[in-house]
Amino acid sequence: MAEQHSRLQVFTSNWQAAALLLPTLALISVFLYYPFLETVQLSFYQLRVLGSGEWVGLQNYVQLFESGAYRNSLIVTILFTAATVTASLFLSLIISFLIHEANRFTDLYLVAAIWPYAMPLAVAGIVLDFLINPRIGVVTWAIEALTGFQFAWQTNGALALVAVIIAAVWQGLGYSIIFMTAAFNQVPDSITDAAKLDGIGRFQRLFRIYVPLISPVLVFLIVIQTIGAFFGGFALIDLMTSGGPSNATNVLMFNLYQDAFVNQRFGYASAQSVVLFGFVAVLMYVQLRVTDRYAYYGGA
Amino acid sequence: MSIVPDTVNERLSTTTGDSQLATHGALWLIISVLILPIALAAVYSTQTTNAVYQITNVFPGSALVENYTTVLFEYNFGQYMWNSFVMATVVIVGKLVFSLLAATALVYYDFRFQSLIFYAILFTLLMPLPVRIVPLYQLMADIGWLNSFAGLTSPFIASATAVFLFRQQFRSIPASVVETAKLDGIGPIQFLANVLIPMSKGMIAGVTAIMFISTWNAYLWPLVAIIDRTNQVAQVGLRYIQGTGAEGFVQWNLVMAAGILVLIPPLIVLLVARRYLLSTLGGGE
């Protein structure tokens, strides 16, 4: 990244520059770097009460890697993430493509498709929690009336995971559609017209022509959505399943929250934070290598 | 006169014509499915608690005013929404002001370690809340900020994303505009207020909308940092109202009303600012 500042330089005072940067640097030092470094330090301690503990070296990490519960959380998180990202990107691709193909009402369709981006995950969670409630939910009732299938997700672990995945996909669609629509709009009309003249079917056109053309955006979305799913399912799990039944939806984030703020195992929870940091670092690195678009627009 | 032969035009338009009906049909279907849960929630939010427990009753009820009043005043959603609103406002104003100042320094000054400082800010993208939550909680407890707006908002105000976006935006402003300002000999704050901000309105609007939505929708940190219910935000308020009937009898009509209330502000922001939001997120590069 070659930086060309000389042409733009308007001001010369170094102390002015320092003053302009001071608020941001002070805030990131106190509320980002310090707690992050402190997390790394705490992960080597055992603490029952915050503020005092004893150095235990790598014990928290050893415990973590030997823990069946943590391994379960890791598997659940990977399943949740893989299913959410795959379903969400596939559906967004189809929806964005249809919007791009439509000859009229495209602005209307776009707004009607992206609004879930504004929906709080907590709202997605409680609304679905009621609508697919196995005893009184109208959707579960309709599914059973039509197909005979009992969507008993409150007692069946695999179905519980399906339920939170549905909520996550629903809420996450808008974000991907925003980026894909922008990417589709940059595909030259001449390519589309040429493909039509060659008589290529529309879904072939989507997967053989558009998908390769917008692949940088797809990679960006895969990484961002993976990070989002790794960290973001918390409100859904907390409101819909509380990690159950039998830990079937106990994702890493929920496990961390429980260990830190319910079980008060602060050192152990910090070790989990460090492992999560490892995951973000790897994903961000992949993204940096593949695309130059590295702003993260997600939650915090 | 078109230089394209008629047969070609015909072929283009018929292919399009054939598929248009299917395209529109599919879109209406998909959009209906996306909206249906919220539409149902809105209907349920007008029913009485008895009606909401009759599974096949999906018709508007008579308790609209009563439900929303109960949620707003008895279940304190008026207070929670106000708290969310104050939190979002503080975070957005803080983010905008500090990021604009930082971006100005990063683009229009030339000093040692400039790139290093930029990358140090950018590196905080690797530190989302979950990787610093325990010490952050401890820090807030130590300085007495738990349960306060200061504790609620301070971890979110520094923003690598906003600094990054404004830096990009400033670098896209033509050098000629900057040169003029330079000749006028104005100071940095004047330069920011008179030149940079007016030329970055779209970006500022987009960032504001994105930040409002993400701050309003924050759940984990308010859950951890706020203990006293009167200081709680709307997202966690949903948890309270859903939990009130834990003994087996949840008043789902009230829960749905609360959900609709919490959804409205970010939805309005999305609708009003969609143009800026779309260009800030999807546009650029």
Query: Tell me: the pLDDT tens digits for A135-152?
Result: 889 999 999 999 989 899
Residue B8's pLDDT band (boundaries 50, 70, 90)? low
Residue B247's pLDDT band (boundaries 50, 70, 90)? low
pLDDT beyond 90 at B138: yes
B120 to chain A nearest CA, in Å? Answer: 9
pLDDT in tens, A244-268: 899 999 999 999 999 999 999 999 9
Interface of A with B in 241-270 (CB under 8 A): 253, 256-257, 260-261, 266, 269-270
Cα A45 from Cα A53, distance rounded (Å): 6
**Phi and psi based region of residue A271 (left: phi greater than 0; alpha: psi -120 to 50; beta: remaining):** alpha
CA distances to A19, A118, A183, B164, B278 from A114, rounded to whole Å, are 40, 8, 15, 24, 10
> With an 8 Å Cβ cutoff, are B155 and A95 in contact?
no
User: What pLDDT score was predicted for residue A249?
Assistant: 95
Q: How many helices (H) and strands (E) does chain A have?
A: 15, 2
Angle at A121 between CA A116 and CA A125, to 5 degrees: 105
Residue B30's pLDDT band (boundaries 50, 70, 90)? very high
- Residue B145 at interface with chain A, using a CB cutoff of 8 Å: no
User: What pLDDT score was predicted for residue A5?
Assistant: 43
User: What pLDDT score was predicted for residue A16?
Assistant: 93
Q: Rounded mean pLDDT of A67-95?
A: 96
User: What pLDDT score was predicted for residue B1?
Assistant: 40
Cα A252 from Cα A237, distance rounded (Å): 11
Amino acid at A43: S
Paired with A55 in beta bridges are: A45
> With an 8 Å Cβ cutoff, are A103 and B16 in contact?
yes
pLDDT beyond 50 at B164: yes
pLDDT in tens, B68-114: 999 999 999 999 999 999 999 999 999 999 999 999 999 999 998 99
Contacts of A101 in chain B (CB under 8 A): 19, 23
Contacts of A255 in chain B (CB under 8 A): none
A146 to chain B nearest CA, in Å? Answer: 14
Say which of B126, B239, B285 has its CB closest to residue A281.
B126
* A13 contacts: CB under 8 Å, gap ≥ 6: B109
User: What pLDDT score was predicted for residue B64?
Assistant: 95
* A256 contacts: CB under 8 Å, gap ≥ 6: A269, A272, A273, A276, B130, B133
Residue of A109, A201, A208, A139 lying closest to B26 (CA atoms): A109
Residue of chain B nearest A260, judged by CA positions: B134
pLDDT in tens, A184-203: 988 888 887 887 778 788 88
pLDDT in tens, A173-182: 999 999 999 9
User: What pLDDT score was predicted for residue A292?
Assistant: 58
Task: Report yes or no: A157 and A249 within 8 Å, Cβ to Cβ.
Answer: yes
B127, B152, B180, B208, best to mutate vs chain A, most A CBs in 10 Å: B127
Residue A223's pLDDT band (boundaries 50, 70, 90)? confident
Residue A34's pLDDT band (boundaries 50, 70, 90)? very high
CA distances to A32, B174, B177 from B180, rounded to whole Å, are 38, 11, 5
pLDDT beyond 80 at A298: no
pLDDT beyond 90 at B143: yes
Mean of all residue pLDDT scores within chain B: 89
Pick the most confident of B55-64, B84-93, B245-254, B276-285: B84-93
- Residue A45 at interface with chain B, using a CB cutoff of 8 Å: no
DSSP A10: -
- For A46, phi then psi, to 5°, come to -110, 120
What percentage of chain A has pLDDT greater than the value 90? Answer: 64
CB atoms within 10 A of CB A16: 18
> With an 8 Å Cβ cutoff, are A183 and B282 in contact?
yes
Give the sign of the dihedral formed by CA A146, CA A149, CA A151, CA A155.
positive
Could you tell me whether strands A45-49 and A52-55 are parallel, antiparallel, or unpaired per DSSP bridges? antiparallel
Residue of chain B nearest A285, judged by CA positions: B126
* B235 contacts: CB under 8 Å, gap ≥ 6: A120, A122, A235, B84, B216, B217, B218, B219, B222, B262
A158 to chain B nearest CA, in Å? Answer: 22
| A:B CB pairs within 8 Å | 322
pLDDT beyond 80 at A123: yes
Q: Please give the distance of CA B265 from its chain centroid, rounded to a whole number.
A: 9
Residue A6's pLDDT band (boundaries 50, 70, 90)? very low
User: What pLDDT score was predicted for residue A181?
Assistant: 92
Say which of A50, A197, A295 has its CB closest to residue B164.
A295
> With an 8 Å Cβ cutoff, are A95 and B27 in contact?
yes
User: What pLDDT score was predicted for residue A1?
Assistant: 40
- Residue A2 at interface with chain B, using a CB cutoff of 8 Å: no
- Residue A187 at interface with chain B, using a CB cutoff of 8 Å: no
Contacts of B285 in chain A (CB under 8 A): 292-293
CA distances to A109, A178, A223, B12 from A192, rounded to whole Å, are 21, 20, 28, 10
* B226 contacts: CB under 8 Å, gap ≥ 6: B146, B147, B151, B152, B232, B233, B236
pLDDT beyond 70 at A159: yes
| ipTM, 2 dp | 0.90
Task: Report yes or no: A60 and A43 within 8 Å, Cβ to Cβ.
Answer: yes
Name the 3-class secondary structure at A97: helix
CB atoms within 10 A of CB A2: 3
pLDDT in tens, A201-217: 888 888 888 898 888 88
Contacts of B274 in chain A (CB under 8 A): 111, 114
User: What pLDDT score was predicted for residue B246?
Assistant: 52
Interface of A with B in 49-78 (CB under 8 A): 50-51
Asked which of A2-16, A29-43, B21-35, B159-173 is least confident by mean pLDDT, the reply is: A2-16
- Residue B270 at interface with chain A, using a CB cutoff of 8 Å: yes
User: What pLDDT score was predicted for residue A172?
Assistant: 94
